[in-house]
Amino acid sequence: MHEFSLATGMIEAACEEARAVGASRISSITCRVGILRQIDPELMCTAFEMVAAGTPCEAAELKIVTMPVRLACPGCGHHFDAYGYEWGCPTCGADATCLEGGDELELISLDVEEHDETALAGGGVR
């Protein structure tokens, strides 16, 4: 399961941001995940909960925004979202091979709480 390593990286980044702004706890994290990343949202939430234990993210809610495959047609320049295996351009029918999205993995927002000296004393992820 690659969800555990991704959750670890996400929590490390979130804890670093929280420390930078003097926050003691993170109440929610929102991330954008492209469908091509093949991340199982349920497994990601489980991994997040396990990795977050003992960190400022311990009680945080993980919100996952799933992004579709986004393509551009090299023939006519049309931009569109693709679902399933239909990646042909809906405008001209050409094979749309210019990937513009759907492979992203981004931490897009954090909700944090005021600084508390004891909460950040232990650092980030163990």
In this structure, what CATH number is given to the domain that contains residue 13? 3.30.2320.50
Residue 109 resides in a domain = yes
Residue 124 resides in a domain = no
Residue 88 resides in a domain = no
Q: Is 28 helix (H, G, I), strand (E, B) or coil?
A: strand
pLDDT category, 121, cuts 50, 70, 90? Answer: very low
Residue 28 resides in a domain = yes
Residue 7 resides in a domain = yes
pLDDT digits (tens, 9 = 90+) for 98-114: 899 999 999 999 999 87
Predicted TM-score (pTM) of this structure: 0.78
pLDDT category, 122, cuts 50, 70, 90? Answer: very low
**In the prediction, which pLDDT does 120 show?**
47
**In the prediction, which pLDDT does 114 show?**
74
pLDDT category, 85, cuts 50, 70, 90? Answer: confident
Query: Strand order of the sheet with strand 25-34?
Result: 61-67, 25-34, 105-113
Residue 74 resides in a domain = no
Tally of domains in the chain:
1
Q: Are 67 and 101 in contact (CB under 8 A)?
A: yes
Residue 40 resides in a domain = yes
Q: What is the mean pLDDT of residues 32-42?
A: 94
Residue 121 resides in a domain = no
What range does the domain containing 19 cover? 3-67+101-113
For residue 79, CA distances in Å to 13, 73, 103, 112 come to 32, 7, 16, 36
Q: Is 19 helix (H, G, I), strand (E, B) or coil?
A: helix
Determine the straight-line distance between the first and last CA of the chain, rounded to whole angstroms.
19
Q: What is the mean pLDDT of residues 45-71?
A: 95
